[in-house]
Structure 1
Amino acid sequence: MTDAVDQGGVDVHREGGVAHVEFHHPLSNSLPGKVLSTLAETITQLGKDDEVLVIVLRSAGDRAFCAGASFDELISIDNLDTGKIFFSGFANVINAMRKCPKFIIGRVQGKAVGGGVGLASSVDYCFATKFAAVKLSELAIGIGPFVVGPAVERKIGVSGMNELAIDATEWRTAEWAHMRGLYTDIYDNVDAMDAAIEELVAKLSSSNPEAMAELKKTFWRGTEDWDQLLAERAAISGRLVLSDFTRNAINKFKSKK
C-alpha cells in the first residue's frame, strides 16, 4: 500500500458554471501536504476561469468531512523548514479561498477536525448535516490552531474560537457551530443538504459575476495582511511540532488507531 502521505487527491467536476471540488484521503479525508498543495492550486486556477461562476467545496464519502493534518506527515517532520512548509500548506489553501473572486460554497457532511474546521470557516457560505460536529484538537497534541485560527475567529468570534482551542478534546455539535455562524444551515441528512446546495448554486449561477466578485472583496475586507500573518503562524506550528511533547502525543494517538 502506498504510504499515507502519498495518498489522497483532489477531483473537479463541472456542471455548467458550477465547479465541484472534492478532496479525498482514505484516513477520514485527512490533509497531507500533497493534497493541500493541489487544493490551493485548484481553487486558484478555478478563480481565474471565466466559465466558473460558483465553486462547491466538498470531501469524499458520507462520514468524516476532514480529519485535519496528516499525522503520518506530522511525525515525519524533523526540521524547522519542513515544519513551516507543511503548515504553510494550510495557509495557502485559506489564502487561495480568501483571494478567489468566486463564491465558495461549503458542503460539510460529517465531523471536521483542526484544518477541516479551518476549511469550513474559509468558505463564503457553509451547509452542513446534523452530524458535522467540530473540534480543534491541536492543543491536545502540543501545537495549537495557529494557522486556521484567524479564519475560525473571523467566523465564530473570539469567544467561540477560545472555547474550541482551549477545550481541545471535546466535540462541539453542528447545532453549536450553526448558532455561532460557522454553518449557515444544517440538515438532517445529506440528500436534504445537497438539494439546498443545488438550489442556491442555481440562483448564484444566474447572478452577475462582477457583482459577486465585488461582494467577495467586501466580505474579506480587513484580511489583507493574511499572507504574512498565516506564514508567521505556520512558523510557530512548525517549531512546536518538533517538540518532544508533540511527538510523544502524536505517537500515543497513532498507537490507539
Structure 2
Amino acid sequence: MLKQIKEGYVKCERHNGVMTIEFFHPQSNSLPGALLEAITHEIHACGNDHDTKVIVLQSGGERAFCAGASFDELLAVETIEQGTQFFSGFAHLINEMRKCPKFIIARIQGKCVGGGVGMAAAADYAIAADGADVKLSELAIGIGPFVVGPAVERKIGLSNFGSLAIDATQWRDAEWARRRGLYAELHSTVTGMDESIAHLASHLAHSNPEAMALLKQTLWKGTEHWDQLLPERAAMSGRLVLSAFTKTAIQKFKKK
C-alpha cells in the first residue's frame, strides 16, 4: 500500500507477519503534518491487525533517517492553535508507537535530527548503520525538544538528553548513540544492518504475540501519563514557534 503525501509518501508492505512502514520526503525525510498523520495512522492500523506480528519503521533514501519537523510548515504557523496542532502530530506519533501492542524495530540508515531522534527513541529496538549521527537542534531555532524529550530521556537518561538538548548544534556520532542506549545495535555497513533487522523481525514474527504485547507493556510501564504530558509539551512548542527569534532562526537554517 502506497499513500502519496505532498512531495512524499508512506508505503506499507507485509511479508510473513512483518509489516514494513516506509516514509519519505525529499527534504531529508523531514516531517510535515500530513506525513506525521499518515505514519501514525499506519502504526495504529498495524496494532489492530491480527496478521501483523512485528513492525519495521524505516525511511526512504540513504543519507538521512529523518530531519525532524518541516521548516516550511513551521514558518507557516500564524497562531498558537496552529503551532500546537503541528507539534501535536509528533505527540500523537510517539504515543501511538508507545501504545502499539506490536514491537517496532527502527531502521536507522542515516542522520537523525529532532523528531527523528524522538522516533528512534520511541521505537522498541533501533538498529543503525555507521553515519547515523544524532542531534537535537530545537534550541538552536528558539524552541526546545519538549515533545520528543520524554522518549529520548527514557532511552538515554536525563544527563545525556540534557547534553543533546543544550548543545543543540553539536552532532553526536552513531557510536555515542549506541553506547547510551538509543541504538540497540550499530553496524559498519547497511547490509549488516539490514541482515540483523531481517533476522530479528523474522524471529519476533514467530514469537508468541500475547507474550510480546505483555512484555511491551512492561517495558513502557510508567509512561501512561504521556497521553496528557505530550500534548502539553506540544502546546509549549506551539507557542514558542511564533516568536520572532524562532522565525528568524528557521529562515537562516533554510538558507544554509
Deviation of 1:254 after TM superposition, in Å, equals 1.0
CA distance in 1, matches of 2:9, 2:216: 27
Structure-1 residue corresponding to 2:196: 196
CA distance in 2, matches of 1:148, 1:199: 29
Q: Is the 1:9–1:34 Cα contact (8 Å) retained in structure 2?
A: no
Structure-1 residue corresponding to 2:45: 45
CA distance in 2, matches of 1:146, 1:8: 26
CA distance in 2, matches of 1:200, 1:45: 22
Q: Deviations over 1:57-77 (max 9, x none)?
A: 000011100000000000000
Question: Percent identical across equivalent pairs?
Answer: 62
Q: Is the 1:129–1:187 Cα contact (8 Å) retained in structure 2?
A: yes
Unaligned runs of 5+ in 1: none
| SS of match in other structure, 1:13 | strand
Deviation of 1:8 after TM superposition, in Å, equals 1.5
Letter in 2 for 1:147: V
Structure-1 residue corresponding to 2:8: 8
Structure-2 residue corresponding to 1:252: 252
Structure-1 residue corresponding to 2:134: 134
Aligned residues: 252
Letter in 2 for 1:111: K
Q: Is the 1:9–1:35 Cα contact (8 Å) retained in structure 2?
A: yes
Letter in 2 for 1:27: Q
User: 1:1-257 residue pairs with structure 2 within 5 A?
Assistant: 6-256=6-256
Letter in 2 for 1:65: F
Letter in 1 for 2:160: G
Q: Which runs of 4+ in 1 moved over 6 A?
A: none
| SS of match in other structure, 2:28 | coil
Q: Deviations over 1:151-203 (max 9, x none)?
A: 00000000010000000000001000000000011011111100011111111
Unaligned runs of 5+ in 2: none
| SS of match in other structure, 1:65 | strand
CA RMSD of aligned residues (A): 0.8
CA distance in 2, matches of 1:183, 1:93: 19
Letter in 2 for 1:43: I
| SS of match in other structure, 2:67 | coil
TM-score under structure 2 normalisation? 0.97
CA distance in 1, matches of 2:13, 2:111: 23
CA distance in 2, matches of 1:46, 1:210: 15
Letter in 2 for 1:197: I
